[in-house]
Structure 1
């Protein structure tokens, strides 16, 4: 059984982003970049399935700039076997990424396609669902537990009302939620081994996908600053402020 995992290069989750002066986007100058945390969880889950003897090969895929090779190498250090970079410097949307992934899935024919539920830069939460629709395959989003059986995969997914269990036939598109697992720390020997693993560079044209996107970022702003809290000295004072200032009671 083969697993294909899509990963994205994003600003490191521990970095405080800066907005460009013209408000056209996020300033990426000298900013630390990493694997999208949810994508890293997806890679970890594929590796765990391989350690159980369920998956025999893990293919890592990314669509983005040349620098995304760094995240692909990191994913292979986690346990991926080989990787494909669809290189582009153009801004592309979720639909274009889904079309690329569809072409790669048809070429690689994996049984399990794993993605992060969303990327922490645009939070679109769309690629997995779009890919499933394009493939005509089953999907399980927000996965918190995955169990693979002989002819299907059972996924427990997190929903507003609690947990939902679904069963999918192969190929299955699954998007990883935060509680699916905790990615391991990469060891130095694994980093060295990852440098020798195959990494193929392709273009959008190789998969028949046009550059550009129908979406346009109009403006990016910092969130509004929160006002400082107020200390109260008694319950009576708290109730008074809630009633007359906040007007919530």
Structure 2
């Protein structure tokens, strides 16, 4: 089984993130997107059970290779970095188009699609934007079924992809033939922590770097969405503490009315 797991190198959620020129500043405290660790774990676990290979794929600046190296430490067999200056600020449509072309090249496809790639796995969202739009957009670009927000993932002996997911208070089971795309939640598994031997082995695993020309793509017209204004989040103010002497309810109601919250 050949699996491509899509990952993203994002600013650490614990760092002080900021926008410059309408774009999120990258390259300072970037880490592998935490929710993508579940995707890597799901891919590696399947290959351990069924055999095959896991290719980690990312799109971003050159230092996004650090995210790939983390995926390799977790058990991916090889990595591909797609980097091109014209991709800076790419929106979900441009990202899906680029990743789909890269997956096609990984799978040896000559006319679109996934080629010999059986499964594409992503995290449920990236923690820099949290839109959760990429899995569906990428599946559409590839022309494969999208099984999203999976809390469990299996592949049957017949090659069908089986997932379960929560829908409100219900659990839903979905099946699709391979090739397919699956996005997994943080409930799908517990990502492994690489040991020293895995870290050393990852240094020897191959990482290819491609640009748009390598993928046969022309630079697009730019993102369809742009940030026109931004400002820093205001400092958090201390709360108001009222000692209830019998009138706190009326004081709270007056405060809500005064601040136009009701």
What TM-score do the two structures reach when normalised by structure 2? Answer: 0.84
| TM-superposition CA deviations, 1:107-165 (whole Å, max 9, x none) | 31221111122211122322211111122211122221112212311112233454322
Question: Following the alignment from structure 1 to structure 2, what is the Cα–Cα distance between the partners of residues 62 and 182?
Answer: 22
Q: Which residue among 133, 146, 150 is the counterpart of 2:153?
A: 146
- Structure 2 residue 200 is matched with structure 1 residue 192: yes
Structure 2 residue 176 is the aligned partner of structure 1 residue 168: yes
Q: Mind listing any 5+ residue stretches in structure 1 that lack a counterpart?
A: none
CA distance in 1, matches of 2:247, 2:85: 57
2:30 maps to which residue?
33
- After TM superposition, give the deviation of residue 168 of structure 1 in Å: 1.6
What are the superposed Cα offsets for residues 178-198 of structure 1, whole Å, 9 maximum, x if unpaired? 222222222222111111111
Contact 1:12 1:34 in 2 (8 A): yes
Instruction: Give me the whole-angstrom Cα distance separating, in 2, the residues matched to 1:244 and 1:165.
Output: 50
Relative to structure 1, the CA distance from residue 178 to residue 193 in structure 2 (aligned partners, 3 Å threshold; closer, same or farther) is same
1:106 and 2:104 matched: yes
Q: What is aligned with 2:46?
A: 49
Question: Deviation of residue 225 (structure 1)?
Answer: 4.6
Any unmatched runs of 5+ in structure 2?
108-115
Asked whether the 8 Å contact 2:62–2:83 carries over to 1, the reply is: yes
Q: Structure 2 matches for 1:88-237, cutoff 5 A?
A: 88-90=84-86, 91=88, 92-107=90-105, 108=107, 109-150=116-157, 151-211=159-219, 212-234=222-244, 236-237=246-247
CA RMSD for the aligned pairs?
2.3
